[in-house]
Amino acid sequence: MNKQRMADLVVIGGGPAGLAAAIEARRHGVRDILLLERDRELGGILPQCIHNGFGLHLFKKELTGPEYAECFIDELKDLNIEYKLDTMVLRIHKNRIIEAVSPNEGYFRVQARAVILAMGCRERTRGALLIPGSRPAGIFTAGTAQRLVNIEGSPVGKKAVILGSGDIGLIMARRLTLEGANVEAVVEMMPYPGGLNRNIVQCLHDFEIPLLLSHTVVNVYGRDRLTGVEIARVDQNQKVIPGTRQSIECDTMLLSVGLIPENELSVQCGIELDPTTQGPVVDEHMQTSIDGIFACGNVVHVHDLVDYVTEESRKAGRSAAAYIEHKTKTCELRIKTVPGKSIRYIVPHYVNWDQSDQDLEFFFRSRDVHDRASLVVNLDGKLIKTIRRRHLVPGEMQHIKLKRKMLPICSKQSTLSISIL
Amino acid sequence: MRLFYWRMKPMYDIAIIGGGITGCFLARQLCRYALKTVLIEKNTDVADETTKANSGIIHSGYDACPGTLKAKLNRLGNPMFDAICRDLGVPFQRIGSLTLALSEEEIPVLQQLYERGQANEIGGLSLLSAEAVRKTEPRIHSRVKAALLAKTAGIVDPFGLAIALAENAADNGTDIRLNSRVVGIRRENDGYVLTTPSGWIKARYVVNCGGVFAGEINELLSPARFRIRPVKGEYIVFDKQVGDLVRHVVFQCPSEKGKGVLVTPTVHGNLMVGPNSQDVEDKEDVSTTRSGLDEILATAGNSVETIPLPLAITGFSGLRASADTGDFVIEELSGYRGFINAAGIDSPGLTASPAIAELVIDLLKSGGLKLTPNPAFDPIRKPIVNVVNLSEEEKSELIRKDPRYGRIICRCESITEGEIVEAIRRRVGARSVDGVKRRVRAGMGRCQGGFCGPRVLEILARELHVSRCQVVKDRGASYLLSEQ
């Protein structure tokens, strides 16, 4: 009765991260790969992102989401990488046994030599923010609305307010406008927008959609369908300023208030998470705290650009290939990365000490807005590099490269910190 | 011909107005007898008002004032839950409750509660020292000085229970009329005629289980001797990650405003805090308020050391149907033989509900209703299968027979298409996205339907043979999509 098969590599998730990781692993010689996707098609969120702007960094051209996904899906198929759709992983065990279920195969187990986690992320909801008011129909997360509009062809509403200025919210402000709806305002609690500057310009300014910074939704009205929201201005501590409340009539509210890496499987498996990113703690090979289990893409930390997800996932694919070939160099001596002043987080969390000449890349986000800032990199308190940046905002992920030889000696307690001065 | 049809319309023995927990329990318990019963509910679903927004606590019964109906029916109702929930396949856990003394001054209050419990003939009560409390509940607030342990308290899913009761009643021949608001009641020689927008219903006996609207229903016939005040209570539910923050239902000492804010695990493994208590005017206002949510968070923060605010899933509120008499009103309406009020069913209404049903049945009997046993009564309702909790073999077997049980639609709660279809196709099946959620928990998890919402909508449209634009979130015109 119990079906158990073997695989060299199981990739969990068939979005941009899982696709790139599987392809890269195959290119590095991994033969028996199995990719498991819970949705009915590959591509993750990309098929619903019908706007362009994908691939600028990687392919030097502007693709739409479906086009970007297609490049990888085609390659995956050309490389004969096995994938299963409509397949939900129920559990990952420390010994790399995967339990999954699908309508076609029923319940099954796979024993993998290596695993790559590429489950992506989910959207924060109204409930998580505890926005008071009634609970009518017409409140969606921006991504759900995007799916309904772009994949299912179902209009979600005629008059909308968007809470949060994350990228999907900005894109949906434009999308709803193009669909003939009125977007009354995009309301952002912080004094700066959450999404990429290019989306502010192309999605809001070009369509004359007001962006209300330092504002938030404080009440929701409507018994059956949403009839309006009340917004108010907030101070620096995000507290509502009395006397600034105003009502906006609308039948739809979209929320773009943050993304949360989907790590329920990781937690169950006992993989260590970083409380800030809410993703696994990883080393420079994208290996998690459990041997042979790697992670990449938005399940590790939320990216702004899919191009970077692809690059990170390729790294995970190569590392998994090396691991399967017993070529991975993890060692006792590891440098821990520590977010310094004004830095929210750094990925990777650890760097293994080795003598190769490979470059090291560090991704991080600032806590707040900085103009003409210096990024200061310290190893065990000693300055090793200073980099100047014109503009740093939390909404745009930063990265720096370091040569391995810049990290010459290390003890068991070595730390590398990045700070903004 | 038309006249003939008119005459042939059935005369029910009993019409129950209101499909909340009181009405559903009564409908199901009446199935033991050979009777023709109709349950009339104005909403699209049963359990859609007070019953769905409730603490879900089966109280031990020390709290109610000795001598009241509340005290008596709480005592009688509590022990009935094990067998009924087992028959109906509804999760019920007797986890016990702790009532905390948060200061030295409150220790005597616990002693009084203990004594009141003795007066109410409640077993399983004991006083715990601060040390003993911390031993059993390590996350309890350090200021806690003592606690009253009530071993017989438990937790249940209130809407799941009401739905299961309605379903079992329907399986046993009860007619369930949804979307039927009773707008008029007239006495006729041998009973009552109830008017609803979709036609009239005749019954020899009528039981008013109208919840917050019980007064209005009564007044369709004659002035009521009670008034129902809606008292709002707000709640916050947290992620299953923190479902084990406490192991008991944790109360604070009660005040005149009620049993106060509690912290409890739910039968589904979440953590819940609430409710506050606020008099409101509007009997349909179930909105939450900033001040209310802040109040319950602050108050719950006195019971446990930390409230895991970032793991909040959602907030909601419900209205208690409190009678101005201070007690349940369960009696025949004076001057109207065969019309029985079951009104003012606020806390401990859920706990008392099986005993309320028995009391109403006694009243019907003394009002002349003949109760002959129904030999065909089947008390068993099979729960909707929960695929993820099956063994490997059972999973494989079920999916082989019906592949839809292998397609997970709700990721957070691991709910399959097969379960959702079952929730829709059963008797008293789901007709809305929230109806599906209340039956099988799809959309109840941390993403709040973000991923599964569009899929559930699609399945509902397919199963109900309507366009997706006609699918509603919950009631009335709560359409999820707008017209093209």
A211-269 pLDDT per residue, tens: 999 999 999 999 999 999 999 999 999 999 999 999 999 999 999 999 999 999 999 99
Q: Is the dihedral of CA B365, B369, B371, B377 positive or negative?
A: negative
Which whole-number Å values give the CA distances from A217 to A161, A220, A252, A267, in the listed order? 9, 8, 13, 33
Q: Which residues of A are less than 8 Å from B313 in CB distance?
A: 125, 127-128
In this complex, do B387 and A125 lie within 8 Å of one another by their Cβ atoms? no
Residue A35 has pLDDT above 90, yes or no: yes
Using pLDDT thresholds of 50, 70 and 90, give the confidence band for residue B259: confident
Q: Does domain B387-470 have CATH number 1.10.260?
A: no
Residues B220 and B209: their CA atoms lie apart, in Å, by 14
Using pLDDT thresholds of 50, 70 and 90, give the confidence band for residue A395: confident
* Closest Cα in chain B, distance from residue A223 (Å): 8
Count of CB atoms situated within 10 Å of the CB of A99: 17
Nearest to B315 among A106, A127, A251 (CB): A127
In this complex, do B478 and A1 lie within 8 Å of one another by their Cβ atoms? no
Give the closest residue to A12 by CA, choosing from A262, A336, A216, A198: A262
pLDDT of residue B198: 87
Residue A383 has pLDDT above 90, yes or no: yes
Q: Quick check: B385 contacting A, CB < 8 Å?
A: no
Which whole-number Å values give the CA distances from B366 to B222, B331, B338, B360, B370, in the listed order? 22, 11, 10, 10, 9
The total number of residues shown for chain A amounts to: 421
Q: Quick check: B284 contacting A, CB < 8 Å?
A: yes
Q: Which residues of B are less than 8 Å from A155 in CB distance?
A: 481-484
> Which of A1, A84, A101, A262 to probe the B interface (max B CBs under 10 A)?
A101
B70-109 pLDDT per residue, tens: 999 999 999 999 999 999 999 999 999 999 999 999 999 9
Q: Which CATH superfamily is domain B93-155+229-322 in?
A: D-Amino Acid Oxidase, subunit A, domain 2 (3.30.9.10)
Name the active-site residue from B59, B141, B248, B268. Answer: B59
State how beta strands A97-102 and A88-92 pair.
antiparallel
Nearest to B288 among A2, A132, A143 (CB): A132
Domain ranges of chain B: 2-50+159-227+326-366, 93-155+229-322, 387-470
pLDDT of residue A219: 97
pLDDT of residue B8: 57
Using pLDDT thresholds of 50, 70 and 90, give the confidence band for residue A404: confident
The total number of residues shown for chain B amounts to: 484
Q: Which residue of A has its CA nearest to B312?
A: A128
Q: Quick check: B472 contacting A, CB < 8 Å?
A: yes
Which whole-number Å values give the CA distances from A395 to A195, A342, A367, A373, A389, in the listed order? 5, 14, 9, 16, 15
Q: Quick check: B473 contacting A, CB < 8 Å?
A: yes
Nearest to B287 among A106, A132, A156 (CB): A132
Domain ranges of chain A: 1-123+259-328, 125-257, 331-421
In this complex, do A128 and B313 lie within 8 Å of one another by their Cβ atoms? yes
Residues B364 and B380: their CA atoms lie apart, in Å, by 25
Q: How does the average pLDDT of chain A come out, rounded?
A: 94
* Closest Cα in chain B, distance from residue A126 (Å): 7
In this complex, do A130 and B411 lie within 8 Å of one another by their Cβ atoms? no
B342-369 pLDDT per residue, tens: 999 999 999 999 999 999 999 999 999 9
pLDDT, mean of residues A341-350: 96
What letter represents residue A303's amino acid?
Answer: H
pLDDT, mean of residues B323-339: 97
In this complex, do B406 and A105 lie within 8 Å of one another by their Cβ atoms? yes
State how beta strands A252-255 and A159-163 pair.
parallel
Residues 287-306 (B) with a CB less than 8 A from some CB of A: 287-290, 292-293
Using pLDDT thresholds of 50, 70 and 90, give the confidence band for residue B1: very low
Report whether A133 contacts A221 (CB < 8 A).
yes
Interface size A-B, in CB pairs within 8 Å, comes to: 149
A1-123+259-328 and A125-257 share one CATH topology? yes
Give the closest residue to B97 by CA, choosing from B35, B151, B161, B166: B151
Count of CB atoms situated within 10 Å of the CB of B174: 26
Q: Quick check: A44 contacting B, CB < 8 Å?
A: no
State how beta strands A52-54 and A63-64 pair.
antiparallel
B27-49 pLDDT per residue, tens: 999 999 999 999 999 999 999 99
Q: How does the average pLDDT of chain B come out, rounded?
A: 95
In this complex, do B406 and A104 lie within 8 Å of one another by their Cβ atoms? yes
Report whether B383 contacts B104 (CB < 8 A).
no
Using pLDDT thresholds of 50, 70 and 90, give the confidence band for residue A409: low
Burial of B335 (0-12, 13-18, 19+ CB in 10 A): exposed
Report whether B166 contacts B27 (CB < 8 A).
yes
Q: Quick check: B392 contacting A, CB < 8 Å?
A: yes
Using pLDDT thresholds of 50, 70 and 90, give the confidence band for residue A408: confident
Is B59 tagged catalytic?
Answer: yes
pLDDT of residue A405: 81
Burial of B35 (0-12, 13-18, 19+ CB in 10 A): buried
Residue B6 has pLDDT above 60, yes or no: no
Structure tokens at A43: 């591509």
Instruction: Give the rounded percent of residues in chain B with a pLDDT score beyond 90.
Output: 93
Q: Which residue of B has its CA nearest to A220?
A: B287
> Which of B387, B417, B482 to probe the A interface (max A CBs under 10 A)?
B482
Through-space distance between the first and last CA atoms of chain B, rounded to whole angstroms: 43
Class of domain A125-257: alpha beta
Nearest to A148 among B403, B475, B481 (CB): B481
Give the closest residue to B368 by CA, choosing from B18, B13, B39: B13
Q: Which residue of A has its CA nearest to B404?
A: A103
Structure tokens at A316: 């995970």
pLDDT of residue B7: 52
* Closest Cα in chain A, distance from residue B42 (Å): 15
Residue B479 has pLDDT above 70, yes or no: yes
Residues 89-118 (A) with a CB less than 8 A from some CB of B: 90, 101-107
A198-209 pLDDT per residue, tens: 999 999 999 999
Class of domain A1-123+259-328: alpha beta
Residues A381 and B341: their CA atoms lie apart, in Å, by 77
CA angle centred on B54, ends B49 and B58, rounded to 5°? 130
Q: Which residues of B are less than 8 Å from A220 in CB distance?
A: 287
Q: Does domain A331-421 have CATH number 2.60.40?
A: yes
Structure tokens at B448: 């709040």
* Closest Cα in chain B, distance from residue A11 (Å): 18
CATH of domain B2-50+159-227+326-366: 3.50.50.60
Report whether B102 contacts B302 (CB < 8 A).
yes
Nearest to B481 among A102, A106, A156 (CB): A156
Report whether A12 contacts A119 (CB < 8 A).
yes
In this complex, do A127 and B312 lie within 8 Å of one another by their Cβ atoms? yes
pLDDT of residue A330: 65
Poorest-pLDDT segment among A57-66, A76-85, A339-348, A349-358: A349-358
Residues B26 and B53: their CA atoms lie apart, in Å, by 20
Using pLDDT thresholds of 50, 70 and 90, give the confidence band for residue B2: very low
- Helix B417-425 vs helix B453-464: angle between axes, to the nearest 10 degrees? 40
